[in-house]
Structure formats: C-alpha cells, structure tokens
Structure 1
Amino acid sequence: MLTQTELLTKKGDYIQQMFGSIARVYDLLNTILSFNFDKKWRKFAVKVSNVAPDAHVLDVCTGTGDLAIAYSKVLNQDGKVIGSDFCHEMVRIADHKLRKRKLSDKIQVIEADTLRLPFHDNYFQVSAVAFGIRNVSDLKSGITEMMRITAPGGRVVILEFSQPTSPLFKTIYYTYFKKILPFIGKLISRSRYNAYSYLPTSVLNFPDRYGLQAQMEACGLEDVKIYSRTLGIVTIHVGQKPCK
C-alpha cells in the first residue's frame, strides 16, 4: 500500500504529465470551453486583489501566463509579476507568449512546484492562482506555501471553478460540464490523459466555496472574502495575511 506521501507524489506526477500533453492547445480550449469568460474572470480577480501599482505579485500554477499578464496591466514600472508552474511545457509556452507580446521585462516565468516555492518569506504583496489550486496534490500545504511568501498585510487570491448557485442553471451547466466539455476537449487536445474528463471530476471533488473559505482561514488567512461570478461557475476568494 502506498503511503500518503507516495500518493501525493503520484498525483503530482500525473497532473504534470497531463497538462504537458495539452499545453499546445491550452489557450484555445480555455477560450472555447469558457465561451471567452475566462478573461473576464481573471480581470475581476485582479480588481478585487486591490493590488498596489508597484506591487510584486506571484502567480502560481501560471500555466501559459494569462493571470500574470492580467496583473501586469495594473502595475507601473516598479511593479513586477512572476509566474511559476511545475509543468515544463506550460512554462515554455508562457515564456514564448511573453516574448511575443514584449512583456518579458515586466513578467518572469519560472519552473517551480507550488508546494516548494523558491522565494524568501514575506516577499510578495499578492500571491494568486487561477484554476490551479485544485490540482495541487496537498491543498492545505499549497495555501500555506502561498501564504508564506506573502508579506504581512498582503493578499492570497484564489480563482477557481465552483458549483453553480442556481438550481435550474446547475442542471444545464452540469450537462455541459460533464458531457459536452470533455468531448470537445478530447477532440481538440487529442490527449491520452483525458484532461477534460478530469476537469469536471476534480471540480466536483473540490471543496465548495464555503469549504475553501474555511480551509484558507484554517491556514491563518484573515477576512477571507468570497466573490461568485457567472451564476456561481467560478468563485474568487481573497484572504489577507495577518499584519503581525
């Protein structure tokens, strides 16, 4: 029987390989499968972060860098964004995207595991993640690590899929989410890992908006606010690291 550590390592390895297999079509599928709402969700997450123009921001599980790019738009020349991801293929595509958009001077992407971030304590004013914390093999450790590198008084921001709040819409949404989305995702990505079948399963097994709020508070974050968007399809949680 595998130990807890071995199980978490095995999940991490699978996630890493799965996202590597869809990296080349990740942006396209995000746009298609979210009906282009993903850009609005990230923009709103940045807004409720209340980030200072000269802040240092870390975007963990950055993928191809879209949340990092969204943060860079509200920063001045003294602000800095770093995106980290443990998937080599994602980091490579993010780096190419940044160079193509001439954003490499404002955003840096590195290959790093969210559970072992290579930064000093209290370095960033904001640590954020979009659609990635659900894939971290140990949720509590992931939140704790994000909190560690965040300065006292800074914010931890989590944008994640959640369960719709409207009973009628929930029925329609789950039909799309469980059946249509995986079909389209597999058709376009041609990934043997069935990444877009994993997506609805992982969302349904993830804590609901209040459960995640409780997890963040249990890790020591204060004043954790919840913002639901698009009938509850996604939720943004913003918690503050204690000043002392």
Structure 2
Amino acid sequence: MIKKIDRPSVLNAKEKEQFVHGIFSAIACRYDWLNSILSIKLDGFWRRYAVTKAKVPTGGKTLDLCCGTGKLTLELIKAVGAGGSVIGVDFCANMLQIARENISKTMYVDNVMFVEANVLELPFTDHSFDCCTIGFGMRNVADIPRVISEIYRVLKPGGRLVILELGKPSMPVFRSLYFFYFERILPVLGQAFAKVKGAYQWLPESLRFFPDQQEVVRMLQESGFKDVGRDNLTGGIVAVYFGVK
C-alpha cells in the first residue's frame, strides 16, 4: 500500500518543517538504498569529496547537521580518526535510528554521537567545533540564513563549513536533460520504490526554490565566512560549498 504525503499549496516556515519531517520519517528505512539507486551510486563519491574539502584535523571535533542516516557522519569520523569525534544532528528520530544502526556496525561507535535537535537552534556553545558539514539538507531547512548563522556561531575561529547540496547545471542541453529526469522520472521511481506518494516530488520542488550556486556563495560571504568557494560536481548536479570562520 502506498502512503500519501500531501504538501500544502503554500508553505510557511513551520509548515515546511512539519512537511519535511513527515517525508523523512516515512522514507527513513529505504532512504540509503534509494539514494544509491536514484543517484546511480554517485552519492558516495559526492560525500567523500565533501570530506576532502572539510580538511578536518586528525583528532578534531566535527559537527554534521541534517545528518540523516549518518552516511556523511561516517566519512567524517574516518577522516578525524579514533582520537576525534563527530556529532550528528537531525530532527527526525526515524532517520537517527537508522544512523545509530549504521554506525554500530563500525569501529567508530564510541566516537560518534547523534543528537535529535533542530538546526535552527543548535544545542551547543559558541566556538565548539573544528568543522561543520551539512549534506543535502540546506534545501529542507525553514530559514537558510539562520542556519548559516548558527553554524558560524558554533564553529571555532578558523573552523571550516562545508555544504554538500544539489545544484543547477548551467550547460543548456545537459540542464534540460537533467531537469527532465529530476522532475519527470525521479518522482515516479521514488514513489514506486519508497511506497510513499509525494515524498520524491518534493525533491525537484525543493531545488526549484533553492538559491543557485552564485547566490549561496554570496550568502556565505555576507554571513562572515572567508575564503568562500564552490566546486561543481557531475556537471553541476551537485555543488560543494566551503568557507572559513
């Protein structure tokens, strides 16, 4: 039986939070498997690339926001090593349950902690982390500038921010093919495999309203981050943004 998630025609901040929470609660058990299929197994490469831009120090303390099932969290703890730590934050208990299961199968179980919290109000003191990442989550937050401000607050001076997010290809032909797949094919496949109607329709909708690559860079600069940069991956399907506090 297919579960249906209806999106309100107009989303205010609170409604967006509730809608997104409902989506990820419904698809948590199939999330990793579907990501691998729908990205043609490129999602692992994208996460590993993001970690290289994080330049996490060995033994450092890292924060992974909108951590979901902990896939990026795991790549981060591999980078900081057994002497470091990573805290994964997500507001969806179902996703965090999968994350804890994923990490429990590794040697890093004592170095990773997961916290259920809203990224708009992080429960951490100022200047706490060497690095902060957010993977495929910025599109889903209710207030992007506020999240960036919270990240800036909890980073140590010299700490790095890395955002891994879906992008908007600029090459005309490739852009047209990509959006045809993304808006017409992917939602159908997502519904068929996830058994949840509406969940994967949100994916192209969320990207449509998300700022383009140049605007994200500008937002980071205006928030106080230095040495801000951006790398496009896979023809601009994905972008990795980075900056230093």
* Distance of 1:159 and 1:18 partners within structure 2: 20
Structure 1 match to 2:45: 40
What are the superposed Cα offsets for residues 67-95 of structure 1, whole Å, 9 maximum, x if unpaired? 11011111222211110100010011111
Partner SS for 1:74:
helix
| Kept after mapping to 1: 8 A contact 2:168/2:212 | yes
- Give the corresponding residue for 1:154: 159
What residue in structure 1 maps to residue 8 of structure 2?
A: none
TM-score using structure 2 length: 0.93
Report the RMSD for the aligned CA atoms in angstroms: 1.2
- Show the counterpart of 1:110: 115
Q: 2:7: which partner in 1?
A: none
Is residue 42–residue 70 contact of structure 1 (8 Å, CA) maintained in 2?
yes
Identity %: 38
- The residue aligned with 1:238 is 242
Q: What's 2:227 paired with?
A: 223
The two structures have a TM-score, normalised by structure 1, of 0.94
How far 1:7 sits from its partner (Å)?
2.4
Matched, 1:172 2:164: no
In the alignment, is the contact (CA less than 8 A) between 1:133 and 1:160 conserved in 2? yes
Q: Distance in 2 between matches of 1:46 and 1:39?
A: 11
CA displacement at 1:51 relative to structure 2 = 1.4
**Is the 8 Å Cα contact of residues 82 and 108 (structure 2) preserved in structure 1?**
no
Kept in 2, the 8 Å contact 1:127–1:147? The answer is no
**How far did 1:101 drift?**
2.6
Instruction: Check the 8 A contact 1:21/1:191 in 2, yes or no.
Output: yes
The structural deviation recorded for 1:32 is 0.3
Instruction: For structure 1, list consecutive stretches of 5 or more residues without a partner in the other structure.
Output: 1-5
Residues 189-235 of structure 1: CA distance to partner in whole angstroms, max 9, x if unpaired?
1114x121110111121000110011111111111111110000000
Letter in 2 for 1:239: G
Contact preservation (8 Å) 1:8, 1:137: yes
| Count of residue correspondences | 235
User: Partners of 2:63 and 2:149 in 1: how far apart?
Assistant: 14
Q: Is the 8 A contact 2:136 2:165 kept in 1?
A: yes
Pick from 175, 186, 200: which aligns with 1:196?
200
CA distance in 1, matches of 2:180, 2:17: 28
> What is the identity, as a one-letter code, of the residue corresponding to 1:106?
N
After the TM superposition, which segments of 4 or more aligned residues of structure 1 sit over 4 Å from their partners? Answer: none
Asked whether the equivalents of residues 90 and 119 of structure 2 are also in contact (C-alpha less than 8 Å), the reply is yes
Question: Whole-Å Cα distance in 2 between the matches of residues 171 and 11 of structure 1?
Answer: 28
Look up the SS of the partner of 2:74 in the other structure: helix
1:72 aligned onto 2:77: yes
Contact 2:90 2:118 in 1 (8 A): yes
Match of 1:3 in 2: none
CA distance in 1, matches of 2:72, 2:153: 20
Match of 1:129 in 2: 134
The answer to whether structure 1 residue 9 and structure 2 residue 18 are counterparts is no
Rounded to whole Å, the distance in 2 between the matches of 1:209 and 1:155 is 18
Letter of the 2:211 counterpart: P
Given residue 132 of structure 2, which amino acid in structure 1 is its aligned partner? S
1:231 match: secondary structure: helix
